[in-house]
Amino acid sequence: MTYKSRVSDAVVRRLPMYYRHLRELEKAGVVRISSQELGEKMNLTASQIRQDINCFGGFGQQGYGYHVTNLKEHIAEILGLRQHYHVIIVGAGNIGRAVANYPRFSKEGFSIQAIFDISAALVGIDVHGILVQPMEKLESWLDTHDVDIAVLAVPASCAQSTADILVKGGVRGIWNFAPVDLALAEGVAVNNVHLSDSLNILSYRMNEKALFERIDAQRKG
């Protein structure tokens, strides 16, 4: 039987936002905050804040609000940020190198262990202290190392076959930057990052007002 999450994707997508805002509030010395105040910072309603947080238990107190540090730690635990993850990157192009060079990942428990690429021009280069290895070594490397997460930054044409190798090698989660939806075995988590989709949404938001002005004019005409 396929497992169905008890929490909606929309709530899960907001959790990192809560964590980021609470971390900033903690740094600013804020001790407690109401759902109304937090909602104003995040452009959400107080009711939405309470509903989201209550999915995981009640962490607030009526008339008191939320203790910023305590709520931040609870959300970090919910997100699994108190665990340590072994990460590899498959694809040492611009996206793969950008991920490897981002300093926050290691601070939050995501430790990059190895990087692989098919290009002879990239194999052997140093990326943030890690030498890029050839793709033909990936399967044997997985046989001797525990890997929790793989960053998949390869062309769409080879994304599925590469993902199959990763899953066979014991990888439990794939952060997929390839512009294709992967078919994965049950129990393997995937988060698709389609950069063009995000840019298309931005384009829509920029033109939304004019779009509906045209639609309204057509309806009236």
Domain residue spans of the chain: 9-78, 85-196
In the chain, the amino acid numbered 33 is: I
pLDDT in tens, 65-111: 899 999 999 999 999 888 899 999 999 999 999 999 998 888 888 99
Measured distance CA(78)–CA(203) in Å, rounded: 33
Identify the CATH assignment for 9-78 out of 3.40.50.1100, 1.10.10.10, 3.40.1310.30, 3.40.50.300.
Answer: 1.10.10.10
Half-sphere exposure of 63 (CA within 13 A, CB side): 0
> Maximum CA pair distance of the chain?
69
Element (H, E) at 138: helix 138-144
pLDDT in tens, 106-146: 888 899 999 999 999 999 999 999 999 999 999 999 999 99
Rounded to the nearest integer, the mean pLDDT of the chain is 91
* Residue 2: pLDDT over 60: no
pLDDT in tens, 28-59: 999 999 999 999 999 999 999 999 998 887 77
Contact 100, 89 (CB under 8 A): yes
Segment 208-214 shows an average pLDDT of: 88
Backbone angles phi, psi at 143, to 5 degrees: -65, -25
How many CB atoms neighbour CB 34 within 10 A?
A: 15
Measured distance CA(165)–CA(184) in Å, rounded: 11
CATH topology of domain 85-196: Rossmann fold (3.40.50)
pLDDT of 29 reads 96
Identical fold between 9-78 and 85-196: no
* Residue 3: pLDDT over 60: no
Please report the DSSP string for 98-118 in residue order.
HHHH-THHHHTTEEEEEEEES
